[in-house]
Amino acid sequence: MTRVVVVGSINMDLVTLAPRFAAPGETLLGERFVTLQGGKGANQAVAAARLGAEVAMVGAIGDDAFGAQLYEGLAREGVALDHLHRIDDCGSGTASITVAGGENAIVIVPGANARLTPAHVERATDAIARADAVLVQLESPLETVEATLRLGSKLGKPVILNPAPAQPLPPEWLELARFVTPNEHELAILLGADASEDPRELIRRIPCPIVMTRGAEGAWYRDGGELVQQSGFKVDAVDSTGAGDTFNAALAVFLNEDVASAVRKACAAGALSVTRLGARGGMPTRAELDAFLGKPA
């Protein structure tokens, strides 16, 4: 069984379904409100677990009611929580999400996620040493992201750096990653480049292997050689929240196969994830992914 360690955020998603996005200063009548579990790190942990991996989460929750629910939610999915830290006198992370026309807009308040430190990563050294792949995103403090990249690299583990939400990062951090996985918008921010620049040119400037996700269009990837295109899978999109998380999780789970196969499966898993409401609603199980790809489940 593939072992995956996720270092990252855990949020409660406060989701409003609306006919469209409100303009600044406008009040809109929404259609529905739901509270769903999310956070990029926790979503990636759940997606990897559903795909059959043995998953350990390194993260932080608050000592509030959301924290207790988030803990239970991860435990129910079979994610190992020995490195989940409950921070006293602190709220859990939240994400206020508007979903309109299959797209989303998100505002995050980090809460306890901001208190995940390099020391917490250090304490998870044994788990990381046993892992086949490590996932990290940018909803955790940057020093914690750096510590994950450095420890993973020191232990010879492939670290997938999902640079979301995007911010510019030192190129030497990228060199520590097995793959960096931005979407087109994140790629430009990561490099401090103009968003109008051709992403194929920007990809050339990334100093490590890269998979650039392209939503319904699939992905472009470069693993040392030429740029390769993986087409997207057609589905009816209900909610794109969590598609990137599902993609990254699948890439980690299938990284022991050849890269072309891992990226194809990641695109398929990401496509399935948008067919239901919520970041985790459409995340496929291994059997669902195999059936979608036309293989026996």
Taking the C-alpha atoms of residue 36 and residue 23, their distance in angstroms, rounded to an integer, is 24
CA distance 152 to 219: 25
Using the rule CB under 6 A, which residue among 111, 242, 270, 282 binds ligand RIB?
242
Compute the radius of gyration of the chain from its Cα atoms: 18
Tell me how far, at minimum, the Cβ of 180 lies from ligand RIB, in Å. Answer: 16
Which of 58, 245, 247, 259 contacts ligand RIB by CB under 6 A? Answer: 245
Judged by CB under 6 A, does residue 279 bind ligand RIB? yes
- Give residues 180-209 in contact with ligand RIB (rule: CB under 6 A): none
| Contact between 92 and ligand RIB per CB under 6 A | no
233 token code pair? 């899978």
**223 an active-site residue?**
no
Q: How far is residue 216's CA from residue 103's CA, in Å, rounded to a whole number?
A: 12
Distances (CA, A) of 19 to 27, 28, 145: 12, 9, 37
Given the residues 89, 198, 245, 290, the one annotated as active site: 245
62 binds ligand RIB per the rule CB under 6 A: no
- 259 or 271: CB nearest ligand RIB: 271
When the beta carbons of 43 and 230 are compared against ligand RIB, the nearer one is 43
CA distance 127 to 284: 25
Strand 54-62 to strand 210-213: parallel, antiparallel, or no bridges (unpaired)?
unpaired
Quickly tell me which residue has 């990254």 as its tokens.
248
Helices marked H in 230-285: 243-253, 259-273
Residues 114-153 that bind ligand RIB (CB under 6 A): 139
Q: Give the span between the Cα atoms of 82 and 58, in whole angstroms.
A: 8
- Tell me which of 5, 108, 161, 180 binds ligand RIB, using CB under 6 A: 108
Among 106, 114, 238, 277, binds ligand RIB (CB under 6 A): 106
Q: Which residues are catalytic?
A: 245
Q: Which residues bind ligand RIB (CB under 6 A)?
A: 9, 11, 13, 38-40, 43, 95, 106, 108, 139, 241-242, 244-245, 279
